[in-house]
Chains A and B, each alone.
Chain A
């Protein structure tokens, strides 16, 4: 099919969306991700029976937290598709990409980059001292 989808998206493969923990999602945003979306099997089609329902519940939980801390729950989304549905996969990617473009960068991105820079500088100073 060789369908294209936005290059801004980094795919992390997991055996099932049920494997995605609430902490994985939170840490992604904490590290500066502008958006996160989970693509699971269609509801009722989970090989592990309820993995995608577990993921859906976690997404709902984290969306509330993201809203509460000012990051915005709309940056997190759960999608479902059939594993052979490439066009749908590309459509979801386009949809999420457009949503994040509209939302703008993660509000803490600047602070995270600054923190990383300070840490790198400190490591370099420590390395030079050794």
Chain B
């Protein structure tokens, strides 16, 4: 899922301090699971904003709404009838949701209420870590199901590098060496022969380096 983290409330207040009516818009998908942008967080942020503005002596109308998804036209259409009641929107969906809302409602200022971080997994309660960078050419088949692009700080395809010490990466003693994980996994699978194979240079044009990406599925288009 897409993992996001809270934005300091002071930063959000600074974005919207000049508006008289604000819609706090949540999303029921990834940001709900990582507990930054769901219905409950919409309630918390709206409550905090109300208290802030009341204390400032202003009468600001703060609306609350949580959509099933903010990255689909169908769900974003649900607010078309009442979005005009608000001067601005604070979207606490991921960056995709914020942008899609802004694209759909051209004349409405939309501000981000979270910091979108990465595609990751929920390792434990309250702990999320990166697992995929969306490089566009998945190589998990050759690396025992552990991604050298997202788990190795250098994203090298034939590792580990000289910075790997006691299974940890040189950038932090808390970060496991991605290639150590790959080797351990290949050993467990009895596939160490695969480790001896040299991986060819990766085509990075399918990654972000190739510019904004798009998927067009002719079989699905209407």
Complex Cα–Cα for A26 and B46 (A) = 10
Scan A5-31; emit 1 where CB is below 8 A from any B CB, else 0.
000000000000000011100110110
In the bound complex, do residue B47 and residue A26 qualify as a contact, i.e. CB atoms below 8 Å apart?
yes
Q: How large is the interface on A (under 10, 10 to 19, 20 to 34, 35 or more residues)?
A: 10 to 19
Scan B77-107; emit 1 where CB is below 8 A from any A CB, else 0.
0000000000000000000000000000000
**In the complex, chain B residues whose CB is within 8 Å of the CB of A27:** 47
In the bound complex, do residue A69 and residue B51 qualify as a contact, i.e. CB atoms below 8 Å apart?
yes
Per a CB cutoff under 8 Å, which of A21, A22, A23, A69 touches B55? A69
- A-B contact number at CB 8 A: 47
CB closest chain-B residue, reference A27: B47
Per a CB cutoff under 8 Å, which of B10, B13, B44, B55 touches A108? B55
Q: How large is the interface on B (under 10, 10 to 19, 20 to 34, 35 or more residues)?
A: 10 to 19
CB closest chain-B residue, reference A71: B51
**In the complex, chain A residues whose CB is within 8 Å of the CB of B13:** 68-69
At the interface, yes or no: A73 with Cβ under 8 Å from chain B? no
Per a CB cutoff under 8 Å, which of A21, A26, A112 touches B54? A112
In the bound complex, do residue B44 and residue A23 qualify as a contact, i.e. CB atoms below 8 Å apart?
yes
**In the complex, chain A residues whose CB is within 8 Å of the CB of B50:** 30
Per a CB cutoff under 8 Å, which of A65, A70, A71, A107 touches B44? A65
In the bound complex, do residue A23 and residue B43 qualify as a contact, i.e. CB atoms below 8 Å apart?
yes
Which B residues are closer than 8 A to A by beta carbons? 8-10, 13, 40, 43-44, 47-52, 54-55, 57
Which 8 interchain pairs have the tightest Cβ spacing? A69-B52, A108-B54, A26-B47, A111-B54, A68-B9, A69-B51, A70-B55, A107-B55
